[in-house]
Amino acid sequence: MIHMMDVISLLGIPMPPSGRSSYYVPCPCCDDKPRNQHLNINLKKEVFRCPRCGVSGGIFDLYALYTGVPRDKVRKAIAERIGMPEYVQRPRKIIEQQPDLECPITDVDSKHATYSALLSKLSLAPDHRDNLLGRGLSEEEIERLEYKTTPLIGMATIASQLQADGLYLAGVPGFYRDENGAWTFAKEKRGILIPVRDRFGRIQGLQIRRDNVTRRKFRWVSSVEKTDGCRAEGWIHLAGPVRNMILLTEGPMKADVIHALTGLAVLAAPGVNALKQLEAVLTDLKDEGLTEVMTAFDMDFSTNHHVQNGYNSLLALLGRMGFRFGTYIWDPRYKGLDDYIWECCLQRQPQ
């Protein structure tokens, strides 16, 4: 049976990065610069799709697209090139899957450029600014962090402006095409948009702190199950420059506040059970001199059985990776370390 990797090799299309089953290459139909890469190839599903111009199909369609061979003659042409005469004589019926509506996530540089441009077009509501000031962030820090209020209207217009500026919307969580085929952005409840950054300061994704909810107050911005939309992943956020000791907590807003109040480097994971991405990030930070990790998860970790199990797994991971590690404990009247530190700062301020 002929597979997508066979056709990629024949056509000289760039091979996928190590370990990736879905990746982007320049689209032969709409990309006029080598750095533009809109055509997604999915090796697992053996399909391709360009969300920019709409060209899509399966294995034989890709070969026909690049070579100009008529679609009904592709099977024979491939078989002859790879030396499979018996395949030509007794062709097997191959049912090719159609591309998904969902896009795979694009590269972090493209996401960062798009999210940065998006945030520059948004504003922060006065009540949200007061909320952040009440957590210990200064006006300067709020501006630097680029926190914004979720937009309730006008996202199709903003998406059109971003696209006109040459920014990449496909594969950026939150963006998708509406029923008319126009790009827009996911409609979320009102709240604060929080950029989630990697160790280079690039925005990997966005979280939202939703107003007036008691459960799932923090959510990832996603456009999963929407046309040309994509899911969000549990990205790891870093607040502050890498140092030999780092504080590990839960949630990017909490990390930003702790860093602002203490100057410590703070790493934020989605939770104590999000170990796969955390291990990859810690491996990179170890190469940059990280030797010690101090955990500072909300105080309910000691009473919540599910959280405690994840916490034990986290400590085992830190031990296996060769880090020195420990746990910060504070006054249990304050759930998070950020709340406790800010209260201590308020008590030290002159009356």
Which residues neighbour 73 within 8 Å (Cβ) at sequence distance 6 or greater?
none
Q: What is the mean pLDDT of residues 327-344?
A: 86
Task: Answer whether residue 261 shows pLDDT above 80.
Answer: yes
* Residue of 33, 173, 187 whose CA lies nearest to 108: 173
Task: Write down the pTM of the prediction.
Answer: 0.73
Mean confidence (pLDDT) of the chain: 86
Cα 98–Cα 103–Cα 109 angle in degrees, nearest 5: 150
pLDDT in tens, 58-93: 888 899 889 888 888 888 888 888 766 544 444 444
* Residue 19 vs residue 190, higher pLDDT: 190
Identity at 225, one-letter amino acid code: E
Interior angle at CA 92, CA 90 and CA 94, nearest 5: 155
Q: Which of 108-122, 185-199, 248-262, 333-347 has the lowest mean pLDDT?
A: 333-347
**Closest to 228 in 3D by CA, of 188, 164, 189, 184:** 184
Percent of the chain beyond pLDDT 90? Answer: 41
Q: CA-to-CA distance for 205 and 232, rounded, in angstroms?
A: 7
Question: Tokens 């952040």 correspond to what residue?
Answer: 132
Who has greater pLDDT, 34 or 70? 70
Q: Which residues of 106-137 are buried (b: 16+ CB within 10 A; e: fewer)?
A: bebebbbbbbeebbeebebeeebbebbeebbb
pLDDT over 60 at 95, yes or no:
no
Q: Would you state the pLDDT for residue 58?
A: 86
Please state the three-class secondary structure of the chain as a single string. CCCHHHHHHHHCCCCCCCCCCEEEECCCCCCCCCCCCCEEEECCCCEEECCCCCCEECHHHHHHHHHCCCHHHHHHHHHHHCCCHHHHHCCCCCCCCCCCCCCCCCCHHHHHHHHHHHHHCCCCCHHHHHHHHCCCCCHHHHHHHCCEECCCCCHHHHHHHHHHCCCCCCCCCCEEECCCCCEEECCCCCEEEEEEECCCCCEEEEEEEECCCCCCCEEECCCCCCCCCCCCCCCCEEECCCCCEEEEEECHHHHHHHHHHHCCCEEEECCCCCHHHHHHHHHHHHHCCCCEEEECCCHHHHCCHHHHHHHHHHHHHHHHCCCEEEECCCCCCCCCHHHHHHHHHHHHCCC
How do residues 197-249 score in pLDDT, each as one tens digit? 999 999 999 999 999 888 788 999 999 888 888 888 889 999 999 999 999 99
Task: Write the pLDDT tens digit of every residue in 279-312.
Answer: 999 999 999 999 999 998 876 666 666 567 778 8
Is pLDDT at 34 greater than 60 in this prediction?
A: yes
Q: What is the pLDDT of residues 84-93, one digit of tens each?
A: 654 444 444 4
Mean pLDDT across 339-346: 84
Q: Which residue shows structure tokens 């939770």?
A: 271
Burial class (CB in 10 A: 0-12, 13-18, 19+), 271: middle
